[in-house]
Structure 1
Amino acid sequence: MPKRVDHAQRRGHIIDALVRVAAAEGLHAVTMRGVAAEAGMSLNLVQYYFDSKPQLMHAALERLEQQSHERWSARLARLPHTVTAHAFIEAFCAEALPTDGPSRAFHLVWTSYAVLAMTDPELAAQPFVEGPNRLERQLTDVLRQAQAAGELAADVDASVEAARLLAMSHGLGTSVLVGQRTAEAAKAVMRHHLIGLFGLPAEV
């Protein structure tokens, strides 16, 4: 009886191979042939699952975003049941930093994809900004709930602040990737901003 092929598993194996190559050499250097070699498969088999490099790159981005969401959900589950908006957002921003292998790979691939999409119409056509849009909406909701609970000043524009927090976390993440500062130093910068935002004592 022929062996049953798990197509989802095989697709995941190919995507993981792309991420490994991209993390080591940069997304711009990725080729379908190189991914096939890393995956231990033939080029024809890789092309059976992914017609083109842009399609494979977008699939990798979606998989990395899903894994990032799973890590955030796990971190959220470890927080106390009653948690302040300040603690929630600080945990959110800490999770957004490249502090280990998986989160570093996510930042490298996403940032490289964004840069390449600026000059590649096929990449730009893919809806790769939905992940950041979703996070921005989530942050906006948390900030509005904080205002309703009296944790955050009523005159703060929640949507603008959510955009600023996301931009700051992206910028700090990049600074960690390029070695400008350590992850702990990046967390300290974000912590300082959140203390001011929530009007907390400086020693907190």
Structure 2
Amino acid sequence: MPRLADHEERRRSITSAARRVIARGGLEAATFQSVAAEAGVSVRSVQYYFGTKREFLLATHRAVVEASGARMTQAFATLGPDAGPRDIVRIIALSLLPLDEPSRQDAIILGIFHAAALAGPDIDSTDTVGAPNYIVDAIAGQLRQLRGTDTDDKALITDAEVILLAVGGLAQGMLTNDDYASRATQLVDHLLDRVLDA
């Protein structure tokens, strides 16, 4: 088992290095050489673990998504037994925002990946839709609990998409607008008041 753990740790170390390189200089800065230097490993190690640049970029994207999921899981653990659907949707929304330095770096990286999916050859939009689709489904499930099982599925999905897209826009806005950053929680609560109570 130690060998497996060592391999996983090495992969995590390389994707962490790739995250730092991408946050500083974009996807074009993330070469085998730059990531290897940042991670303190050989170029051959990066190639061994990931094969191609595309593979290590996708692994890096997954690492960012997993970090967001871990933040969400930690926040869910703080909910009491009386937590309802609104509480859960609020946790999901807040977990997607750059409220501290690690999540800020992740928001920068996700913005870079989004831009690359629009224009770059290394990443396609189909490579990055898994997590947003999962979040939409999770929010729609909570809305169904809140509104009842006879609610139209299309309406639930649409409202869940509105929440996700608004929170995604807020996350990117917070990176350059301190006013949005200072009012992020208030803005999320306002959004949920409008959508959940509609």
Q: TM-score, normalised by structure 2?
A: 0.88
Q: How is 1:43-122 mapped onto 2 (pairs within 5 angstroms)?
A: 43-122=43-122
Partner of residue 136, structure 2? 136
Q: Using the alignment, how far apart are the partners of 1:79 and 1:45 within structure 2?
A: 42
Q: Using the alignment, how far apart are the partners of 1:23 and 1:125 within structure 2?
A: 19
Partner of residue 160, structure 2? 162
Q: Using the alignment, how far apart are the partners of 2:169 and 2:45 within structure 1?
A: 38
Partner of residue 182, structure 2? 184
CA deviations over 1:148-189 (Å, ceiling 9, x no partner): 29xxxx589211000000000000000001225343312222
Task: In structure 2, give the amino acid aligned to 1:117.
Answer: A
CA contact (8 A) 1:97 1:173 kept: yes
CA contact (8 A) 1:64 1:106 kept: yes
Q: Using the alignment, how far apart are the partners of 1:140 and 1:175 within structure 2?
A: 24
Q: Using the alignment, how far apart are the partners of 1:112 and 1:28 within structure 2?
A: 10
Which stretch shows the higher mean deviation, 164-173 or 191-200?
191-200
Task: Give the aligned length.
Answer: 195
Partner of residue 193, structure 1? 191
Paired-residue identity, %: 29
Q: Using the alignment, how far apart are the partners of 2:20 and 2:98 within structure 1?
A: 16
Task: In structure 2, give the amino acid aligned to 1:45.
Answer: S
Partner of residue 147, structure 1? 147
Task: In structure 2, give the amino acid aligned to 1:196.
Answer: R
- Aligned-partner SS, 1:196: helix
Which stretch shows the higher mean deviation, 94-103 or 112-121?
112-121
Residues 28 and 122 (structure 1), Cα distance of their counterparts in 2 relative to 1, 3 Å cut: closer
Judging by fraction of residues, say which structure has more helix.
Answer: 2
The alpha carbon displacement at 1:8 in A equals 1.4
The alpha carbon displacement at 1:4 in A equals 5.0
Task: In structure 1, give the amino acid aligned to 2:169.
Answer: G
Is it true that 1:32 corresponds to 2:35 in the alignment?
no
Q: Using the alignment, how far apart are the partners of 2:108 and 2:52 within structure 1?
A: 21
Task: In structure 1, give the amino acid aligned to 2:184.
Answer: A
Larger gyration radius, structure 1 or structure 2: 1
Q: Using the alignment, how far apart are the partners of 2:84 and 2:106 within structure 1?
A: 28
Q: Using the alignment, how far apart are the partners of 1:4 and 1:131 within structure 2?
A: 30
CA contact (8 A) 1:97 1:183 kept: no
Q: Using the alignment, how far apart are the partners of 1:106 and 1:32 within structure 2?
A: 20
Q: Give the aligned CA root-mean-square deviation in angstroms.
A: 2.4
Q: TM-score, normalised by structure 1?
A: 0.85
CA deviations over 1:51-75 (Å, ceiling 9, x no partner): 2222111001111211211110110
The alpha carbon displacement at 1:120 in A equals 2.7
Task: Write out the 4+ residue segments of structure 1 that deviate beyond 3 Å after TM superposition.
Answer: none
- Aligned-partner SS, 1:83: coil
Partner of residue 170, structure 2? 172
